[in-house]
Amino acid sequence: MGFMTDPVPPSGDVRMRGFARRSTVAETLAWLDRQTRPLPEETVPLAEAAGRVLARDVVSPTDVPHFVRAMMDGLAVRAADTLGASPYNRLVLEVTGESLPGRPFAGHVGPVQAVRIMTGAPLPDGADSVLPAELTEIGAETGRALAVGEVSPEKHIGRVGEDIAAGSVVLRAGRVLRPQDVGVLSSIGTAQVPVIRRPRVRIVVTGDELLPAGSPPLAGTCKIPDANGPMLVALVARDGGLPEQPGIVPDRPEAILEAMRTEADVVIVSGGSSVGAEDHAPALLAREGQLAIHGIAMRPSSPTGMGLLDGRLVFLLPGNPVSCLAAYDFFAGRAIRVLGGRSPEWPYRRVRAPLARKAVSVVGRLDYLRVRLVEGRVEPLAIGGASLLSSTSRADGFVVIPPDSEGYPPATEVDVYLYDV
């Protein structure tokens, strides 16, 4: 099926009329991927680089290490002077000084001479190896040591550029920097790191029935605490975005539009995305911008919409919490990850296991099936029940049933996407 360029009425107002046609998930993703590309780069201090996405390849300007250094405590020696040394054939060495990290020995190691050396200290001129401390004995006379074992040339030393060679690519663009990567950047003298700018995401939660997140439900009223707001804030942060939420927005067109107009890179509207009388967001987006998609052939999350406002991506997510989560994961999260330079794919670990019982679906609709893993088998929990957010907490993950399937019989091997990242 080709991409549908005009899936909604020109006015975008389908309130109380229903969807004339639902876009497929594939069509929706095709439109979305055409709108998204990584944001420009910015420079951040090294201390703030962990978890950020590298914007450019990093080439080392120096060798690491940039000097020959000891890899063990002991004596810096000429290997030839230890040849034949053993506990039964102790060889005398003249100790002429010491080399410590940051305080190298300034002299030269000549024949039958040695310099006390610590791990990480520069190897003195003239020496070619380190005789470990356990192969030495301090002689009775000051300035003398005994070799009770032998070493070969270049033994127990770190060579110039052994870790990183000057001119080599240390880290590639697109890498999400880990703590050890930051350590590597520091080792080559990188104080400022080029990274992809993190997308700013305005989260607009609408609903006159909502209380602020974390509020206790009010007895005798139909008011409920906002669950989608804190969930979306956490999801956006997980995907590398910078969430901002102005608070709960009343179900009034002018208030919703005002909240949607922002300097952020992405707008997510939670609630008011369907075809009810109070679902204002789709008509507002169609009137003030472009409503490219409204209504998707998937369950849950079929009332999802998306488009552009002032050149910014806008996602209209259902108010039902499970629908909101699924729509975010399929669409908004994908866009945020791409804008921030990350992989568009889900950050979930995937395992394959057999179904404990059948999973039923309908041809023509993609289903997001919440599941548990019980003794190595996949136990379906729910496809429906879009308002039952606790089902996602009870679930270990989800299974995607594609639109060309009526479901799976028991014992079918399926891919499970685990919620734990």
Where do the structural domains in the chain lie, given as residue ranges? 25-40+198-339, 41-64+162-196, 69-158, 350-418
DSSP 353-394: EEBSS-EE--TTSEEEEEEEEETTEEEEEESS-TT-THHHHH
Q: Is the pLDDT of residue 18 over 70?
A: no
Confidence of residue 21 (pLDDT cuts 50, 70, 90): confident
- pLDDT of 13 higher than 70: no
What would the mean pLDDT of 162-172 be, rounded to a whole number? 96
pLDDT at 209: 87
Q: Taking the domain 41-64+162-196, which CATH number applies?
A: 3.90.105.10
Residue 147 predicted with pLDDT over 50: yes
Instruction: Report pTM.
Output: 0.84
Categorize the per-residue pLDDT at 4 as very low, low, confident or very high, splitting at 50, 70 and 90. very low
Q: Is the peptide bond before 65 cis (omega within 30 degrees of 0)?
A: yes
Q: Lowest mean pLDDT: which of 43-47, 67-71, 110-114, 140-144?
A: 140-144
Tell me what pLDDT residue 115 has: 97
Mean predicted confidence (pLDDT) in 270-286 = 82
- Whether pLDDT at 400 is above 80: yes
In three-state secondary structure terms, 67 is coil
In percent, the amount of the chain with pLDDT more than 70 equals 91
* Contact partners, residue 89, CB within 8 Å, separation at least 6: none
Task: State mean pLDDT over 391-413.
Answer: 93
Q: Which fold has domain 350-418?
A: Beta-clip (2.40.340)
**Rg over CA atoms, the chain:** 32
Does residue 333 surpass a pLDDT of 70?
Answer: yes
Average pLDDT over residues 187-195: 97
Question: Mean pLDDT across the chain, nearest whole number?
Answer: 91
Among the ranges given (82-91, 102-111, 277-286, 322-331), the one the predictor scored with the smallest mean pLDDT: 277-286
Please state which CATH number belongs to domain 69-158: 2.170.190.11
pLDDT of residue 223: 87
**Residue 308 pLDDT > 80:** yes
Helix (H) or strand (E) holding 205: strand 200-206
25-40+198-339 topology per CATH = Molybdenum Cofactor Biosythetic Enzyme; Chain A (3.40.980)
What's the token pair of residue 256? 């919703």
Question: Average pLDDT of 100-114?
Answer: 96
Distances in whole angstroms, Cα of residue 49 to Cα of each of 29, 182, 197: 30, 7, 11
DSSP annotation of 329: I
Measured distance between the N- and C-terminal CA atoms of the chain, rounded to whole angstroms: 34
